[in-house]
Amino acid sequence: MTTTNVKVYKDLMGENEKWANETRRLLTEKCVLMINLIGSPGSGKTALLERMAKSLENRIRFAVLEGDVETTRDAERIAAVNIQASQLLTGGACHLEAKLVHYALKDLPLDDLDMVVVENVGNLVCPAEFDVGEMAKIAVLSVAEGDDKPSKYPLLFHEAKAVILTKIDLLLHVDFDVDDCIANIKRINASAPVFTLSAKTGIGVDNWINWLHERR
């Protein structure tokens, strides 16, 4: 009797979708909004969260799930501004998966929260392909990265419910055409609002905060 080796391929995206749906059920049950911040390393995601901690104080209670390949530096930064943060380490993967987010979410005091923010691994490509159970993906792009990024990485901007252009305090020092960038975003996703802001100075942050309030 001969033995035949059969290769088995699992539907990884299907497994991810199962956990994402479980997360959405949990969040709906707890009446908690969860957003997924996606952007390159250095785009200003963590700095934006630090600014949000100040702007949302006593308005929206939120916690942060920090995704990264290694280190706990970002979670420590968030904890330093009195926001509960958990560090999710991928050990080399370029994105967070729904199962990891789900288990981290269950450890949070969801009954005492209005919102959870996932700061995904710094990457414009992989995280856009994976649903982690969020209500909205938010694309984050700094003016230091170049105004051509929406055209070069369209999936993220197509999937985003909103786009944030960060570090606008640097516009005098970089070659970045805001109008052209926004036009490119609108060609990809006409319905997504675009917020221009500076986490450092606070300019434009209130518009983003008001949008979050409307989602609650």
For residue 3, the model assigns a pLDDT of 59
For residue 132, the model assigns a pLDDT of 97
Which residues are CB-contacts of 133 (< 8 A; sequence separation ≥ 6)?
19, 20, 21, 22, 23, 24, 26, 27, 34, 98, 101, 102, 105
What is the CB neighbour count within 10 angstroms for residue 116? 27
Contact 38, 152 (CB under 8 A): no
For residue 9, the model assigns a pLDDT of 45
In the block, tokens 């390393």 appear at 41
Map out the domains of the chain with their CATH numbers: 12-211 (3.40.50.300)
14 vs 23, 24, 124, 130, 191, CA distance in Å? 14, 15, 22, 11, 28
Alpha-carbon gap, residue 206 to 192, rounded angstroms:
17
What phi and psi values does residue 192 have, to the nearest 5 degrees? -80, 125
For residue 181, the model assigns a pLDDT of 98
What is the CB neighbour count within 10 angstroms for residue 59? 12
- Each of the 216 residues of the chain gets a pLDDT tens digit; together they read 565 666 544 555 689 999 999 999 999 999 999 999 999 999 999 999 999 999 988 789 999 999 999 999 999 999 999 999 999 999 999 999 999 999 999 999 999 999 999 999 999 999 999 999 999 999 999 999 999 999 999 999 999 999 999 999 999 999 999 999 999 999 999 999 999 999 999 999 999 999 999 987
The residues with which 194 forms a beta bridge, in sequence order, are: 163
